[in-house]
Structure 1
Amino acid sequence: MWLKWLPWKLFISKAAKRHGFLDPISLWSYFQRFAQPSEVAGPMELVRASAMFHARGLINSRAIPQNSDWVWPWWVHRQFNPAEEAFIPRAFSLTYINLTERNWTAAGLPGYDYLPIVDPTGLVTPHWDGWSIDFWLVDSKGNVMAPSRRREDVQQRLFYGKDIAVATRFSPDGHKLLSTMNVELQDGVPQCAIRLRGSMSEEGYIAASVRPCNSEGISFVHEIAFKDGRTWKINSKDTINFETPADVSLGSKYEQGDVANQLTSKGGQDHVLCDVGMANAAALFKIEPGKQREIKINIPLEPRKHHEKKRITYQANAREDDWGRAVGDYCRVSIPDKRKQYLYENAIRTLLLHATDEEVFPGPFTYKRFWFRDASFILHAMLCANFPKRVESVLATYPDRQMPTGYFLSQQGEWDSNGQALWIIYKYWKMTGRKLSGDMIRAVEKGANWICRKCTSSKGDKAHTGLLPAGFSAEHFGPNDYYYWDDFWAVAGLRSAAEMMEAQNEAELSNKYSQKAAAILKAIDASLEKAHQRLGTRAMPVSCNRRLDSGTVGCMSAGYPCQVFESNDERLLATAEYLVEHCLHKDGFFLDISHSGINAYLTLHIAQVLMQAGDERHGMLADSISRLASSTGQWPEAIHPRTEGGCMGDGQHVWAACEWVLYLRNCLVFEDTSDSELVLGKGIRKDWCREGEKITIGPAPTLWGEVRVAFEFGDDKVTVSLDEDFSGKRPQVVVDIPSYERTYVEEGQKRTVVNKAGT
């Protein structure tokens, strides 16, 4: 306790000034003045992650610039080359970070959290945040043809069937090298399986090279041990197994440079030691002119860190070695736009790939951890895609994840998580009809009570009166403030809790939560009215203290997915209009704050609001996101406006994938909870309505039960076939295809003919 009485701030300030540094105490004081006072200045988890991120960037700044003769990952060649559009000057930058080409694709097995990644030129990183293995062609003189240096000769695709495999085709100067990576079980052990197939018009080699780096930068390799040309040991813990012995094995350490510049040497060493941590090696496999050679490499994916630990499965079939069985009877979508359908199929598998029996990950690398926020969206997409058991498995962990106070904590200072947790529990309960456990009911009660306690006082007439406190919110809105995003989620969560408690015959709690939800909504309305008077527009700022900016995208949550406001609410539509008019780049939403890139999932939030309001511009936004997907059908968290590579977050962002699933699903089937309507075809586009076209979806779980729907288009009409399996009270079912008459479907009506409007 006595430490608290010491004048630490004075000591620190005096020491800094004595050595000629800025006073950090004064600087921190000014830093905080840009934010609203909050109990948490910033999530320690985010500070810790940023510190690790920039620590690597500091190492990158020491390792990369003076070693331009090394074969580096694709992002380094792009970002450090002044002739490239992705070039970034580094004059006063202390850390060098991948800000232009954050793209990668994971492979794996259903239910396992081993997720090797492949970058756009075929660099494989088998273990989380570890070293990588690259593949080159080498001519007889030792000249290296590396895909990362010749991106124009590289093509990459994702294939799925029994496996998920990333295939990279490299075709330089008439030579060919095909590398595929997938994960498979061998004697019960998950293996990163790499298959190489190459041919050359002259004598040469296929090279498989261990690299002390990955898609974020340097990843230290201190030791490489060679055993009989078939087995390599990396850092005494990781193993690479070659099915056939290499013809030549070569190693190098930092002082000697890149092994890529020493491929004409004879080799012969049995290990490489490097104190700097830049050991690298190459296995060479000889190719005869005009002949094809195949090489198989297996890398056991043993548990190495807390990110990769063996788990006890919640359900017997949580883990699979066959993707065909894993996807099972998922919600299939068939639309005329085959590019968008391909992205839907990829997104379905991305969801399952990043789900274990205990958690879901927003990404395989940068974001390989659990957040309640991301989980709410991902689990909702999995529910809509008809994976209820997998959702149940993850939700079963929620009571244990909850703090004793009732707080569903992901990061301190974020107040949206409780509303999101209650909302997704409710969605599961309604969409599956399954009874909630006693532990889950208690978690719902504790979580709802936490929201009730957390709100600021309803007394007074401040802009934030009755709202949740200032906080960091969803990280991409700016400094701590009273963000409406948190409040919309609080309303949605409390409404969900009220209905769940009503079903438990807990009338008192149900009334309490309903009344609190109404009170928060009243506070939101009053705060927005003050904002209207201050700004002169019905468009909603992101917080009660801000002007309109790109952060206002957070207010889309009032319409999608929370449905706190009706789809035609003036404030919601004015906000969407502002975002479309002022915040689009290449027809995608550009977020100035934090991400500084085109954001796929937030673009689709705007598209959902426009689509549900009957605004056809939702298709323009979806077209942009479709075009910006990588060749493997993935999106990074944010997309560089010039290079169109990733500039923020994980290079395979699962939240983006889940929004694509939800967008296409809602275009065909969505619940309008304000009117208790199941709406069919609201997002069907005019170019999908040509005569002879057929659109289908199903089995599609909804809040009222499961449906299968088919739309068959004629010259001036569409025949809608509905196979419904509702439980409880049947909703109003309405066909609401743009340019067609709005038509209700009666119970038991299997086929409904809907005419074009005006015919």
Structure 2
Amino acid sequence: MRFESGGPTPNRSKYLLAIPLACAAAFARAETPNERIAGAARSASPGTYARSWSGEALYWTVVAAPGGKRKAILSEDGALEPIKGGYSIEPFVWVDGRRVAARDARRSQTLDAGDLPIPSVTWDHPAARLRVRTFAASDDVAFASYRVENPREQEQTLELWLVLRPMQVLPTWQFLNRSPGFAPIREIRGDTARVRVNGADALWPLAPPDRFGFAPGDMHQPLESHALPSAREAHADDGFCGGVLAWRMTLAPHAARELHMRVALGPGVAAPPASEDGGAGLVAKALAEVVATWREQLGRVEIALPSKAADVERTLRTALAHVLANRDGPRLPSGPRNYERSWIRDGALIASALAEFGHADAARDFLAWYAGFQLANGALPCCVDARGADPTPEHDSTGAFLFALGTYARQTRDAAFVRSLWPRVRRAVARLEQLRSESRDPRWRTELDGAAFGLLPESISHEGYAKKAVHSYWDDLFARQGLREAVFLAELDGDAERARAWSESRDAFERDLLASYTAAIKLHGIPFLPGSVEFGDFDPTATAVGFELGGEPRDFPDPALHATFARYLREVARRDEPRVLRAIRDADRQRTRPHRRARCRMGRARVESRRTATPQPGMEPVARDRLDRCIARPMARRSAA
């Protein structure tokens, strides 16, 4: 900026002034809604905003009907996001003019009966207890129940606030395929029976609130001042509107009151029937029907485990429930929100589990749907979403599809379905053989000391190799099992000629893969099985997938196999060391900073364990014994099946 200064002399001097403020103005930009909320959270009293707005990790779970398209999510603190990308409902309790927020209470999370996908969040505070329970009654409607309890020995008056806010439960750093954080509410209005958000019916309090009101803003002012807005509607072009529904109750010592809310999971939901009991009967009936549905869905296969393994059984059933809740028609996405795409490697493992747990029809639907995206060269795409197939070449995909189809066929003996996909199976196997041929060129006998000979080419299917494509054993383990299943499929189809030819191809690949492991171990001077040829990296999960797909110990060099999982057990055993805990905590803080990616490095523990090739005294026999049991049990189970 140029300024002229007048003076007593006739010559006017010109000065070029560098003004920091002008520079700042030149580069200034408008504040984003997420930055606005995060800035307000920094200056607000603790608990006014969800912990995620302060950079703290915040977990959530899905709330949905089996196979439904609409998914709500409930945070570990009790906030509910009914619609993808939409507003949230946050609970608060007031006692004697003092606010109790999630941060102020000891929080715990449970599932109905220990395994059903009906989550509850409980706050335990000296002045008040709160339980939030929610479940999806259909693909259109969910119910949220709020049970307020007086934990004191004397009567007291409490007030429950349900605050509708222009924020998602989904934290800002979970931005893959989404725009998380801010959820604009440009219009909100309602009465004691219904609330409308952005022109659509959103929720119905089944017991009329004692007070309610709406106002512009994200509702932090009412939460700071205990001054409930009084307007019956509010509008804001910037999307910052909200509201409060409040119930006041006087409770005897240890008495409780439960309030119910009917919530729309999408537009066009009809109003509920009139209720004289505050919705208790309506909710109880809907809950009983949902429990019965889930029990049927999760009980198609008997799980017989010792009593001390009850947690394992509950975990199996809950995992199956979440698979079914996240299912979208024939699609098998890895989760709601960010992971609504269908990855074939995830889908193959999910379809395998579905076939084994009595849901072969869902596995079949997925395979039939995904097969339609096979590329002209025979490869299967890595993932499919609303935009179609992702063209990124990831070489685990084709083997993953053959594995899933083979697992389905082994469980069902559905030869007719296999025949319907037989041309696609032939093209998929041809694709694997073509990829292998690229590394059977004589030059690969010497490059990398021959460790890549006969393997699939470099790819980035393993996320750890996104920056540099390498020969990933992850790809080869899927390909190996895919070829094994292809032989079985040919036999099931009655194609003896292809079964014989594919058996030879399978056997040759198995020999090359085993030789590659041995050469890579020698190349890098390591005692364990590497994750890739080029890096010689320690990656036990990439090795363990071989067993999940049906591999056996004989498929790997024995000393290196046991050394891999012995080291892994040692690292797990050290997870409670203060140094490791600090590294995890620091990495967690880095990971949860909005719009920032960080690697999770386990301090020096990873480096030191790599330097130490000799197992710690007393660890190797225990680790080897545990490893034998861990491998033998799934193999025995598959053999029996």
TM-score (norm 2): 0.73
Match for residue 164 of structure 2? 210
- Supply the distance in 2 between the matched residues of 1:106 and 1:442 (Cα, whole angstroms): 38
Deviations 1:458-483 (A, max 9, x none): 11222323322211123145532110
Amino acid at match of 1:449: A
Amino acid at match of 2:92: W
Instruction: State whether structure 2 residue 326 is matched by structure 1 residue 354.
Output: yes
- Checking the alignment, whether the CA contact within 8 Å between 2:211 and 2:246 is kept in structure 1 is yes
Instruction: State whether structure 2 residue 421 is matched by structure 1 residue 440.
Output: yes
Instruction: State whether structure 2 residue 71 is matched by structure 1 residue 71.
Output: no
Describe the shift of the 1:397–1:583 C-alpha distance in structure 2 as closer, same or farther (beyond 3 A).
same
- Checking the alignment, whether the CA contact within 8 Å between 1:240 and 1:298 is kept in structure 2 is yes
Q: Identify the match of residue 196 of structure 2 among 233, 238, 242.
A: 233
Amino acid at match of 2:137: E
- Supply the distance in 2 between the matched residues of 1:543 and 1:487 (Cα, whole angstroms): 10
- Supply the distance in 2 between the matched residues of 1:443 and 1:252 (Cα, whole angstroms): 58
Instruction: State whether structure 2 residue 330 is matched by structure 1 residue 341.
Output: no
Q: How does 1:288-299 map to 2 (within 5 A)?
A: 288-290=250-252, 292-299=256-263
- Checking the alignment, whether the CA contact within 8 Å between 1:108 and 1:115 is kept in structure 2 is yes
Describe the shift of the 1:561–1:175 C-alpha distance in structure 2 as closer, same or farther (beyond 3 A).
same
Instruction: State whether structure 2 residue 501 is matched by structure 1 residue 501.
Output: no
- Supply the distance in 2 between the matched residues of 1:56 and 1:475 (Cα, whole angstroms): 31
Alignment RMSD (CA, Å): 3.6
Q: Identify the match of residue 365 of structure 2 among 377, 388, 393.
A: 393
Match for residue 670 of structure 1? 637
- Supply the distance in 1 between the matched residues of 2:37 and 2:191 (Cα, whole angstroms): 33
Q: Identify the match of residue 517 of structure 2 among 510, 525, 528.
A: 528
Match for residue 178 of structure 1? 131
SS in 1 for 2:338: coil
Compute the displacement of 1:361 (Å).
Answer: 2.6
Match for residue 689 of structure 1? none
- Supply the distance in 2 between the matched residues of 1:575 and 1:417 (Cα, whole angstroms): 25
- Checking the alignment, whether the CA contact within 8 Å between 1:224 and 1:232 is kept in structure 2 is no
Structure with larger Rg: 2
Instruction: State whether structure 2 residue 183 is matched by structure 1 residue 220.
Output: yes
Q: How does 1:303-452 map to 2 (within 5 A)?
A: 322-337=293-308, 338-409=310-381, 410=383, 411=390, 412-437=392-417, 438-452=419-433
Compute the displacement of 1:617 (Å).
Answer: 2.8
Deviations 1:237-257 (A, max 9, x none): 461111233222233333884
Instruction: State whether structure 2 residue 458 is matched by structure 1 residue 470.
Output: yes
Match for residue 505 of structure 2? 516
- Checking the alignment, whether the CA contact within 8 Å between 2:219 and 2:243 is kept in structure 1 is no
Compute the displacement of 1:140 (Å).
Answer: 4.8
- Checking the alignment, whether the CA contact within 8 Å between 1:110 and 1:320 is kept in structure 2 is no
- Checking the alignment, whether the CA contact within 8 Å between 1:108 and 1:182 is kept in structure 2 is yes
Match for residue 239 of structure 2? 277
Amino acid at match of 1:123: A
Match for residue 458 of structure 1? 440
Instruction: State whether structure 2 residue 101 is matched by structure 1 residue 146.
Output: yes
Match for residue 249 of structure 2? 287
SS in 2 for 1:169: strand
Describe the shift of the 1:353–1:585 C-alpha distance in structure 2 as closer, same or farther (beyond 3 A).
farther
- Supply the distance in 2 between the matched residues of 1:565 and 1:508 (Cα, whole angstroms): 30
SS in 2 for 1:210: strand
- Checking the alignment, whether the CA contact within 8 Å between 1:157 and 1:166 is kept in structure 2 is yes
Describe the shift of the 1:324–1:135 C-alpha distance in structure 2 as closer, same or farther (beyond 3 A).
same
- Supply the distance in 2 between the matched residues of 1:132 and 1:534 (Cα, whole angstroms): 54
SS in 2 for 1:408: coil
- Supply the distance in 1 between the matched residues of 2:375 and 2:146 (Cα, whole angstroms): 49
Describe the shift of the 1:597–1:387 C-alpha distance in structure 2 as closer, same or farther (beyond 3 A).
farther
Structure with greater helix percent:
2
Match for residue 566 of structure 1? 554
- Supply the distance in 1 between the matched residues of 2:453 and 2:349 (Cα, whole angstroms): 29
SS in 2 for 1:229: coil
Q: Number of residue pairs matched?
A: 523
Give unpaired runs (5+ residues) of structure 2.
1-22, 24-31, 173-180, 269-289, 384-389, 588-596, 603-618
- Checking the alignment, whether the CA contact within 8 Å between 1:70 and 1:258 is kept in structure 2 is no
Q: How does 1:77-96 map to 2 (within 5 A)?
A: 79=55
Compute the displacement of 1:259 (Å).
Answer: 2.9
Give unpaired runs (5+ residues) of structure 1.
1-19, 21-54, 80-99, 305-318, 599-609, 623-662, 672-676, 679-701, 703-759
Compute the displacement of 1:150 (Å).
Answer: 1.8
Deviations 1:5-32 (A, max 9, x none): xxxxxxxxxxxxxxx9xxxxxxxxxxxx
Amino acid at match of 2:637: F
Instruction: State whether structure 2 residue 86 is matched by structure 1 residue 134.
Output: no
Match for residue 106 of structure 1? 62
- Checking the alignment, whether the CA contact within 8 Å between 1:472 and 1:481 is kept in structure 2 is yes
Structure 1 stretch displaced more, 272-281 or 564-573: 564-573
SS in 2 for 1:287: strand
Q: Identify the match of residue 140 of structure 2 among 190, 199, 204.
A: 190
- Checking the alignment, whether the CA contact within 8 Å between 1:163 and 1:323 is kept in structure 2 is yes
- Supply the distance in 2 between the matched residues of 1:260 and 1:442 (Cα, whole angstroms): 63
- Supply the distance in 2 between the matched residues of 1:288 and 1:417 (Cα, whole angstroms): 60
Instruction: State whether structure 2 residue 585 is matched by structure 1 residue 596.
Output: no
Deviations 1:318-344 (A, max 9, x none): x99721222343232332213333333
SS in 2 for 1:451: helix
SS in 2 for 1:133: strand
- Checking the alignment, whether the CA contact within 8 Å between 1:250 and 1:283 is kept in structure 2 is yes
Deviations 1:414-447 (A, max 9, x none): 2111101100100110111122424322221222
Compute the displacement of 1:209 (Å).
Answer: 0.8
Deviations 1:83-109 (A, max 9, x none): xxxxxxxxxxxxxxxxx5342222322
- Checking the alignment, whether the CA contact within 8 Å between 2:160 and 2:246 is kept in structure 1 is yes
Amino acid at match of 1:433: R
Describe the shift of the 1:71–1:372 C-alpha distance in structure 2 as closer, same or farther (beyond 3 A).
same
Instruction: State whether structure 2 residue 630 is matched by structure 1 residue 617.
Output: no
Deviations 1:379-419 (A, max 9, x none): 22222323222222222212223233322211513211110
Deviations 1:544-583 (A, max 9, x none): 111333x353123344434165277413223323433457
Compute the displacement of 1:65 (Å).
Answer: 3.1
- Supply the distance in 1 between the matched residues of 2:570 and 2:47 (Cα, whole angstroms): 45
Compute the displacement of 1:485 (Å).
Answer: 1.0
- Supply the distance in 1 between the matched residues of 2:37 and 2:555 (Cα, whole angstroms): 48
Deviations 1:189-216 (A, max 9, x none): 6311011222444223111111222141
SS in 2 for 1:366: helix
- Checking the alignment, whether the CA contact within 8 Å between 2:398 and 2:479 is kept in structure 1 is yes
Match for residue 682 of structure 1? none
Match for residue 302 of structure 1? 266
- Checking the alignment, whether the CA contact within 8 Å between 2:96 and 2:157 is kept in structure 1 is yes
